Amino acid sequence: MEIESQSALRVHNVRLVDGVSATAVADAVLEADDEGRISYAGPAHEAPPARPGIPTIDGRGGTLLPGFFDCHLHLGMASDRSIVDEALLTDPVLRLLQTTERLRRTLDAGITTARDLGGLPAGFRTAVATGLLTGPRLQVAVGIISHTGGHADTTLPGGADLGFDFCELADDEHEARKTVRKLLRAGADVIKICTTGGMNSAGDDPDDEDLRYAEIAAVVDEAHRHRGRGVAAHAQGRAGVLAAIRGGVRSVEHGFGIDAEGCALLGENGTFLVPTLSVVFRRPDPDRMPHWAYEKKVRWNERSKENIAAAIEAKVAIAAGTDAGIAEHGRNLTELQHLVALGMSPMAAIRAATSESARLLGVADRLGSLRTGLLADVVVCAGDP
């Protein structure tokens, strides 16, 4: 069950995984004050007496953890049909209502904070924050910046344009800066760019470069000018990964072609990797995708696993993201299983989806770990993760 407290709360009879420590507390208590902030989280035998009248939850021997993060998803995109169907055959009102359902399913999956990297207007963030909609708290990119013919160009090979209004094209530094300003005006918390092609765009390949270094640096500079906004880079092939890091982005999304040089640069620049393994481990179905997309997936999947496993071994900073919308919605925490499958310890995978993700999103002062003074943003699971 998922619980988010806006007021006093006490949870007992739980194992405590605080999102920071290397070990769990076997028998623990967490208590939050009237403002929903943690006043105690630790061993039951050291806990203060329960205050009269405070709501109390028996964890039934389960595990108490921080609310989880998904730092890369697309809540405005369906994962069970093609983007062509979404753009051309789905009624806009129905699409909006389906988005609200995906928000609820994501929260029910244990994700209490999410970063939507393209396709979700800022109004959804406000609707969740004000209680109008049920879902995780949101940071939104609103749109995606690419060059003409790049990963976010929605023109199909036959010349038809899918017309997604969140896909923005910029072909030089001036256009890049202007597009950043447009997205910030629309309410973006983070700027999303493409520095490579991708699996699901017909006209390019993950090894193709998209925005170049000078354009990346211009985007980063423009974003930083506005309250220090960060930049997330869709970067799959090696050249685009290196250009993104050198250009100053806050996070490399996917990073499937990352090598030892890229891992070293991540550490030198304090850049995060968000490997979105849920799309790598999702077996491609040739009957449900175009041949060109299937061919790219088959060619890249094992290569991606090898490179991300090496990045995990190199202990680069990793935050959790699924690319839900391409991967399946509502199964976000399978990402942790995939991280473990490629060599990460279970506790490190939990940290990637809690305290490390909170660091990436700039909210570690209030979310991501169960420490005194932080918000009691918690999840209880029945077993021992």
**What's the CATH code of the domain at 55?**
2.30.40.10
Q: Is the pLDDT of residue 262 over 80?
A: yes
Alpha-carbon distance values, 269 to 2, 89, 316, 317 (Å): 35, 44, 11, 11
Among 102-116, 133-147, 292-306, the least confident range: 292-306
Is pLDDT larger for residue 284 or for residue 219?
219
pLDDT of amino acid 122: 97
Least confident interval from 174-178, 294-298, 315-319, 328-332: 294-298
Q: Does the pLDDT at position 157 exceed 80?
A: no
User: CA 359 → CA 19, 180, 248, 313, distances in Å?
Assistant: 12, 23, 17, 20
Hey, what's the torsion of the CAs at 94, 100, 103, 108, to 10 degrees?
A: -100
Sign of CA dihedral 103, 105, 111, 112: positive
Domain CATH for 235: 3.20.20.140
The 3-state DSSP class for residue 93 equals helix
Confidence band (pLDDT; 50, 70, 90) for 87? low
From residue 182, give the alpha-carbon distance in Å to each of 141, 151, 281: 11, 19, 35
Based on the domain organization, do 58 and 168 belong to the same domain?
Answer: no
* Rounded average pLDDT over 86-106: 89
Provide the 3-class DSSP secondary structure of residue 188: coil
Q: Is the domain of 37 the same as that of 137?
A: no
Please report which confidence band the pLDDT of residue 225 belongs to, taking 50, 70 and 90 as the band edges.
very high
SS3 at position 56: strand
What is each CA distance from 385 to 16, 97, 334, in whole angstroms? 11, 33, 12
Domain check: are 80 and 98 in the same one? Answer: yes
> Does position 12 have pLDDT exceeding 90, yes or no?
yes
pLDDT above 90 for 83: no
Shared-domain flag, residues 320 and 345: yes
Q: Using the structure block, give the residue that is written with the tokens 């629309």.
A: 186
Structure confidence at residue 6 (pLDDT): 59
Residues 129 and 34 both lie in one domain:
no
Distance, CA of 72 to CA of 70 (rounded, Å) = 6
Same domain as 57, residue 90: no
334 contact partners, CB below 8 Å, separation of at least 6: 278, 281, 322
Same domain, 210 and 236: yes
pLDDT for 81 equals 72
Average pLDDT over residues 279-294: 86
Contacts of 70 (CB under 8 A, 6+ apart): 106, 111, 113, 114, 115, 136, 320, 321, 322, 324, 332, 335, 353
Amino acid 201: pLDDT: 84
**Banded model confidence at residue 1, pLDDT cuts 50, 70, 90:** very low
pLDDT tier at 4, thresholds 50, 70, 90: very low
* 37 and 148 inside one domain: no
Give the separation between CA 93 and CA 314, rounded to whole angstroms: 46
Cα torsion angle, 352, 353, 359, 361, sign: positive
Supply the mean pLDDT for the chain: 94
User: From CA 319, how far away is CA 310, in angstroms rounded?
Assistant: 16
Please report how many Cα atoms fall inside a 13 Å half-sphere around the Cα of residue 299, on the Cβ side. Answer: 14
Residue 2 has pLDDT above 60, yes or no: no
Could you give the CA distance from residue 118 to residue 89 in angstroms, rounded to a whole number? 20
For residue 137, what are the β-bridge partners?
113
Distance set, CA 127 to CA 108, 121, 135, 142 (Å): 17, 11, 9, 15
Residue 6 sits in the same domain as residue 106? no
Q: What is the mean pLDDT of the segment spanning 16-45? A: 97
Residues 294, 327 contacting (CB under 8 angstroms): no
Q: How far apart are CA 171 and CA 181, in angstroms?
A: 15
> Is residue 3's pLDDT more than 60?
no
Nearest to 187 by CA among 249, 253, 132, 127: 127
Per DSSP (E only), the strands in the chain are 2-4, 9-16, 25-32, 38-43, 56-58, 63-66, 68-73, 111-116, 137-140, 144-146, 167-169, 190-194, 230-235, 251-254, 272-274, 377-381
- Domain of 125, in residue numbers: 68-361
The whole-angstrom separation of Cα 333 and Cα 315 is 21
Question: What pLDDT score was predicted for residue 107?
Answer: 98
Q: What angle do CA 172, 121, 116 make, to 5 degrees?
A: 80
- As for how many domains the chain has, the answer is 2
Task: Please state the rounded mean pLDDT for residues 352-366.
Answer: 98
| Same domain (yes/no): 162, 115 | yes
Q: pLDDT value at position 287?
A: 82
Residues 302 and 245 in one domain: yes
Are 119 and 57 in a shared domain?
no
